[in-house]
Amino acid sequence: MAARTPIVGGNWKMHLDRAGARDLLRELRDELGGIEGVEVVICPPAPWLGDAADALEGTSLQVGAQNAYWLPHGAYTGEVGAAMLIGTARYILVGHSERRHLFGETNEETGRKLAAVLELGLEPILAIGELQAEREAGTTREVLREQLAAAFADVERLPEGFVVAYEPVWAIGTGLTATPEIAQSTIADVRAMVADRYGEVTAEACRIQYGGSVNAGNVTELAAQPDIDGALVGGASLDASAFATICRAVAAAAEGAA
């Protein structure tokens, strides 16, 4: 099996004022600036993306946006076009559950965003995940399959190392982390779905993160699972030392597995 470089994202969501963001960026640069064996992507709120790009320049840390619109420009008040992020952000989160469930983003819109981000040569992190009721009803596989099918509708091929974040909605911000067994088996299912669409080689190279209440205490067991290639971290990404611990644990797990 080809080794996959794991990837950890820190999704700050709508937190921190400018001074707080700059402080955290400085701390992250100090803690993680030279980290190896894991790719690290920092996703601050949109107004602080430029500060992040400046603060992290010259380090291996990447900047990611939390969302972007698929059209490049036009009369779309309040939107940020993915094309506008070129030169500032390398990664763009697409289809985070808060976009889907709080702001009504549809599977089809997620698909348009994904296609646009790939077309621009930027790196998407495609987030998918089921609601608690869907998990309880036993429809998790169908839900994920539908989300992936819509996201991939206009995407003929995936770049090597494409990133999916599997985030069960019931685990996000709730403290209810999926057990390593649930996370592993669902992520193995997701990898099989990617293989059905794009073939085994692409699926084996695809990096699939787990997200949902990941913290410094539970990351090691999650990262030890063979199909889990890192984490998408919300709450714990606002604390530089907790986030650094998570990134180091993911790198160590990958090294241990190599």
Mind telling me the catalytic residues?
96, 167
CA 24 to chain centre: 19
What letters, b where the CB count within 10 A reaches 16 and e where it falls short, cover 143-167? bbbebbebbbeebeebeebbbbbbb
Please tell me the distance from the alpha carbon of residue 124 to that of residue 41, in angstroms, as a whole number. 11
- In angstroms, give the least distance from the CB of 183 to ligand PGA: 13
Binding to ligand PGA in span 224-253, by CB under 6 A: 232-236
CB 151 within 8 A of CB 95: yes
Could you tell me the maximum CA-CA distance found in the chain, to the nearest angstrom? 51
Least distance in Å: CB of 114 to ligand PGA?
Answer: 17
Map tokens 């669902």 to a residue.
186
Q: In the complex with ligand PGA, which residue's Cβ is closer, 72 or 173?
A: 173
The secondary element (H helix, E strand) that includes residue 24 is helix 18-32
Interface with ligand PGA: number of residues (CB under 6 A):
13
* Residue pointed to by tokens 């077309």: 119
Alpha-carbon span 250 to 224, nearest angstrom: 8
Rounded least distance, CB 116 to ligand PGA, Å: 21
How many of the other CB atoms lie within 10 Å of CB of 73?
10
Residue 211 sits in the site that holds ligand PGA (CB under 6 A): yes
Distance CA 88, CA 51 (A): 9
Q: Which is nearer to ligand PGA, 143 or 232 (CB)?
A: 232
**Measured from the CB atom, is 11 or 67 closer to ligand PGA?**
11
- Site for ligand PGA (CB under 6 A): which residue of 66, 140, 184, 213? 213
11 binds ligand PGA (CB under 6 A): yes
- Shortest distance in whole angstroms from residue 75 CB to ligand PGA: 31
Using CB under 6 A as the binding rule, whether residue 109 contacts ligand PGA is answered as no
Select 79 or 239, whichever has its Cβ closest to ligand PGA.
239
SS3 21: helix
Q: Which of 116, 194, 214, 249 binds ligand PGA (CB under 6 A)?
A: 214
CB of 102 to ligand PGA, least distance (A): 11
Containing H/E element for 231? strand 230-233
Tell whether residue 105 is a contact of ligand PGA (CB under 6 A): no
> Which residues, numbered 144-203, are part of the site for ligand PGA (CB under 6 A)?
167, 172-173
Interior angle at CA 16, CA 11 and CA 21, nearest 5: 80
Q: Considering the rule CB under 6 A, would residue 130 count as an interface residue with ligand PGA?
A: no
Q: Which residue is nearest to ligand PGA (CB)?
A: 234
Residues of this chain that interact with ligand PGA (CB under 6 A) are: 11, 167, 172-173, 211-214, 232-236
